[in-house]
Amino acid sequence: MALRRAYNVDFLAEAKRIEPEIVENRRALHLHPELAYHEERTAKFVGDRLESFGVKVKRGVGGTGVLGTLVGAKRGRVVALRADMDALPVQEMAEVEFKSKSDGAMHACGHDTHMAMLLGTARILSENKDKLSGTVKFLFQPAEEHGGRGGALPMIEEGVMENPRVDFVFGLHIDGARKVGEFGVREGPIMAAPDTFRVKIIGKGGHGSAPHETIDPIYVAAHVILALQGVSSRMINPVRPFVITVGAIHAGTKENIIPDFADLEGTIRTLDEKTRKLAKRKVAEVAKGVSRSFGARAEVEFEKDAYPVTVNDPKTTAEAIRVLRRIPGMKVKKVEAILGGEDFSRFLQKAPGTFYFLGTNNPAKGCVYPNHSSRFKVDEDVLKYGAASLAALAYEFGNR
């Protein structure tokens, strides 16, 4: 079913009108970042702003989550819009006047901008409620950066996608690698399933001068790490995107002591469930097999509730692209899938929808660092386009 443009609302003009407020909200949120599951101050800020727009607010959803609901004047579909709220455990090094005041925490992935844009969208839609068809749910979600249970699942378990049931769901993410003036989107898989694994290699400790009397778990760990690269190069179909990284090694206390065990931590990134299951099985087999060959033993664990693959519904995304192309001054680029993870994927398992990116890379303003960098900066001129795009999607999909 094609979208019908029943109402002619200039969403970009509306966003430009309230642009100073969008920027002000972003800076206020940036000053006081909060880590996953601790977004109390952030949630209060968001909830209070929504209520000031006349949006019905439910707080403490799935922990610190906030659900805003706006009912339009006409019957229509239910559209959910999501912004994540948590910051990263990063000490900010970017030189901005609104630098983080929280030691060891920073909005280095742009979640402050996501909230500010969605608050702008909420105000735009609330002020045009008389023309709005259907219902819009504003999902302010905690703990996206957690990587395991996250914040989307607890909110879903508390019913945010029901009563009324959500028909379409959309999420927007700022992108430090994409240049300003661009939306990035694709149909189908757009972000990976991130599976964390831990390998405990149990050997036999002893004196560093007599390794033959021990089973050295550090030596075994080195072989395990090398062998794990063979999972991607020799055990998985090479045309399927797949990454395995060992990012942490913990073992030993002193240079002349061979320890009893060594711990490895890593991540697997895949874009389909078949490859995901095979990769996890092979990682466990290789770690245990290599360890056994040296007389050691390996215990392998995978984090429970890891995020699934983020899959954009093809039909909904094709329609969404048409909407985004009508935002003046913006281009829509088809992007390759990336192997970062997102728990927006859980919302997409409950309703068709689209996850897309907004470019903020602008060398002229020093906005050149990638997401998660301690020097990450955002070109705030792009925020109005994000707010306008979310409003347009909610408006037009509500009128389907």
Average pLDDT (234-253) is 92
**Does 395 qualify as catalytic in the annotation?**
no
Read off the pLDDT band of 8 (50, 70, 90).
low
| Residues 112/29, Cβ–Cβ less than 8 Å | yes
Least confident of 26-35, 233-242, 297-306, 376-385: 233-242
Catalytic residue among 34, 39, 182, 307: 307
Structural element, H or E, at residue 287: helix 273-293
pLDDT of 241: 87
What is the amino acid identity at position 304?
Answer: K
Determine the Cα–Cα distance for residues 59 and 340; give it in Å rounded to an integer. Answer: 29
pLDDT of 196: 95
**Does 307 qualify as catalytic in the annotation?**
yes
Q: Residues 89, 93, 97, 103: what is their CA dihedral angle, to the nearest 10 degrees?
A: 40
Catalytic residue among 127, 158, 299, 380: 380
Distances (CA, A) of 199 to 62, 136, 288, 323, 389: 31, 45, 9, 47, 44
Least confident of 61-75, 173-187, 214-228, 232-246: 232-246
Residues 150-175: pLDDT tens digits? 999 999 999 999 999 999 999 999 99
Residues 175-191: pLDDT tens digits? 999 999 999 999 999 99
Closest CA to 89 of 154, 25, 41, 146: 146
Q: Kindly report the three-state secondary structure assignment for every residue of 323-360.
A: HHCCCCCCEEEECCCEEEECCHHHHHCCCCEEEEEEEE
pLDDT of 2: 44
Closest CA to 33 of 153, 156, 95, 115: 115
Determine the Cα–Cα distance for residues 36 and 84; give it in Å rounded to an integer. Answer: 10
pLDDT of 239: 86
pLDDT at 128 over 50: yes
Which is it for strands 353-361 and 168-179: parallel, antiparallel or unpaired? parallel
List the strands of the sheet with 331-334, edge to edge.
56-61, 65-71, 133-141, 74-84, 168-179, 353-361, 182-185, 331-334
pLDDT at 197 over 60: yes
Q: Across all residues in the chain, what is the average pLDDT?
A: 96
pLDDT of 400: 81
Among residues of the chain, what percentage have pLDDT more than 90?
93
Residues 315-352: pLDDT tens digits? 999 999 999 999 999 999 999 999 999 999 999 999 99
Q: Return the structure tokens found at 399.
A: 């009128």
pLDDT of 232: 86
Q: Return the structure tokens found at 59.
A: 């707080």
Backbone angles phi and psi of 349, in degrees to 5:
-80, -15
Determine the Cα–Cα distance for residues 348 and 191; give it in Å rounded to an integer. Answer: 12
pLDDT at 4 over 70: no
Average pLDDT (284-290) is 98
pLDDT at 10 over 80: yes
Domains in the chain and their CATH numbers? 11-187+313-398 (3.40.630.10), 192-302 (3.30.70.360)
Determine the Cα–Cα distance for residues 66 and 107; give it in Å rounded to an integer. Answer: 19
Determine the Cα–Cα distance for residues 295 and 372; give it in Å rounded to an integer. Answer: 40
